[in-house]
Amino acid sequence: MLYIKGSITTVLALCVLLAAKDTFAEAYNTPSIPVPGGHFSTQVDSERQEAIRLRDRKGTTEAGMEKSRLCDGCHGELGNSTDPQIPKLAGQYGNYILKQVRNYQLGTRSHGIMSAMAATISDDDLIDAAAYYSSQKMMQGVGKAENRPGKKLFLNSEISYMALACINCHGERGKGLEPQISAFPVIGGQHKDYIRQQLVNFRDGKRTNSPNNIMNRITESLTDAQIESLAEYVSGQ
Amino acid sequence: MHRSRINITIALAVMLLSATTGYAGDSPDDIRQRIGAGDPVAGKVKSLICQACHGEDGNPVTPDCPKLAGQYAAYIRKEIKDFQIGSRRDPMMTEIAARLTNEQDLLDIAAYFASQKQMTGDVRLFNEAGKRRFTVGNGCQTCHGVNGKGLAPNNSHAPVIGGQHKAYLVKQLKDFRSNARSNESTGIMGMIAAMMSDEQIDEVASYESGL
């Protein structure tokens, strides 16, 4: 009896040891960089300081007025572009402008002129310029007679991916959600030609920098006529 | 007397053995605990805007947005709360979290994503160095579980990371390293990341994303 009990216990103890081996045995072999004196390296330190500074940096409209002079050249005074191919920036979300310019810098969005312009602006200046434009009176459309087909498309989720209609993300009349979500930009009152071009670019896969490619999927099945109606409705708001 | 001693020994051995195998993660009871108190059916409707970026089933196609599929509801809720109070910051998520002030909505949305089939990697980006860092000694597995699928059925602290998008994992590790992200209350993620070079971060994120 004792003999059996003893051997079972031994076998079990051996099992336990074998199982524990992986958990405990290699604790002293964890690969790691030697950290001099237990302090963080200077590279980590300066990286850390810069990242925190940029993260917490709020742009100012006063500084932004100076920094955005170059942008005004195309995007118009106060961001009210008068060229229908060039988007208005007045009242656009600062974080949205930031993301687009950074995407141009990285190449995840591309445009002959914007890709080059984006390369010339520093992060600090960009943060100020974006704040400047976002503080302007929001872009306004020319208020054409209400475009019924366009409005219907804007409100109607049947044509779109999942159960989302334009209004769900871009807000009533495309003026953005309340409280705002910068990922979903202001579009109401934007230039008609520009809206049309972006919808086409999304549909045809030429522009692919929307979060999770949502805009590509939403526009996938839009016809040219539907895009035209939408652009007319949205630009008139 | 002798019998009960054997039983106790066997019980102890079984416990120690199972401690090394980790948490598997897909039994109905595990899923129930992962989902938490919210209603995933209500959550599906409430999370439409979330799905725009995070994918209908919590699996976004682009790596900029993290997968939420099968993530702990408690962890999702915690991160949203952290975005709300500013202890974690992201230009997009801070705004989105600000809208989720209704506790029930938050629970339901978190439950919806938690109830999805758990995230997995598409490609086995196996590399020896990444695997070693993940599995050996006090590696990532210690808190994030075998295959990064989590260490316990319900966890608000150490999330599911196995099968997460690599680019997202890299960004989080770098943010922990630079303290741009610091909402891990024990400070251990900061310490761990601070000891990793860019190359090592890349290696371990590659490995984790393929799990």
Domain residue limits, chain A: 58-138, 140-237
Residue A109 contacts by C-beta under 8 Å, 6 or more apart in sequence? A100, A103, A207, A208, A209
Which residue on chain B is closest to A48 by alpha carbon?
B178
Q: Residue type for A102, please?
A: R
pLDDT of residue A174: 95
DSSP reduced 3-state for A200 = helix
- Which of the four pLDDT bands, split at 50, 70 and 90, describes residue B6? low
Using CA atoms, how far apart are residues B151 and B161, in angstroms rounded to an integer? Answer: 11
The enclosing H or E element of A237 equals none
- Picking from B10, B56, B180, the nearest residue to A52 by CB comes out as B180
More confident residue, B7 or A113: A113
Do A58-138 and A140-237 share a fold?
yes
Please report residues of A whose CB lies closer than 8 A to that of B6. 5, 8-9
* Token pair 């958990």 in the structure block, residue: A23
Q: Are residues B179 and A22, on separate chains, in Cβ contact within 8 Å? A: no
A-proximal residues of B, 79-108, CB under 8 Å: 89, 91-92, 95-96, 98-99
B191 close contact with A: CB closer than 8 A? no
pLDDT of residue B4: 67
A3 close contact with B: CB closer than 8 A? no
Q: Are residues B99 and A179, on separate chains, in Cβ contact within 8 Å? A: yes
For an interface test with A, give the residue of B46, B136, B171 to mutate (most A CBs within 10 A). B136
- Which of the four pLDDT bands, split at 50, 70 and 90, describes residue B169? very high
pLDDT at B81 over 90: yes
A15 close contact with B: CB closer than 8 A? yes
**Would you tell me how many other CB atoms lie within 10 Å of the CB of residue B102?**
11
More confident residue, B195 or A198: A198
Q: Are residues A26 and B65, on separate chains, in Cβ contact within 8 Å? A: no
pLDDT of residue B129: 87
pLDDT of residue A35: 38
More confident residue, A142 or B20: A142
Does the domain at residues A58-138 carry the CATH identifier 3.20.20.210? no
| B28: closest CA of chain A, how far (Å) | 27
B40 close contact with A: CB closer than 8 A? no
With 0.90 as the threshold, say if the pTM is over it. no
Residue A4 contacts by C-beta under 8 Å, 6 or more apart in sequence? none
Which residue intervals of chain B are DSSP H helices?
Answer: 2-19, 28-35, 40-46, 48-54, 73-85, 91-98, 103-114, 128-135, 141-144, 166-178, 188-194, 198-209
Please report residues of B whose CB lies closer than 8 A to that of A47. 177-178
| B64: closest CA of chain A, how far (Å) | 7
More confident residue, B22 or A2: A2
- Picking from A51, A212, A213, the nearest residue to B54 by CB comes out as A212
As its CATH architecture, domain A140-237 has Orthogonal Bundle (1.10)
Q: Residue type for A35, please?
A: V
Token pair for B12: 């102890």
**Domains along chain B?**
22-209 (1.10.760.10)
- Picking from A15, A26, A182, the nearest residue to B137 by CB comes out as A26
Q: How much is the average pLDDT of B162-171?
A: 94
Q: How much is the average pLDDT of B101-129?
A: 90
pLDDT at B60 over 60: yes
* Token pair 């366009």 in the structure block, residue: A150
- Which of the four pLDDT bands, split at 50, 70 and 90, describes residue B64? confident
φ/ψ (deg, to 5) at B16: -65, -40
φ/ψ (deg, to 5) at A141: -90, 170
Please report residues of B whose CB lies closer than 8 A to that of A9. 6, 9
Stretches in chain A below the pLDDT threshold 70: 1-45, 47-48, 51-52, 55-56, 144-145, 157-162
| A145: closest CA of chain B, how far (Å) | 30
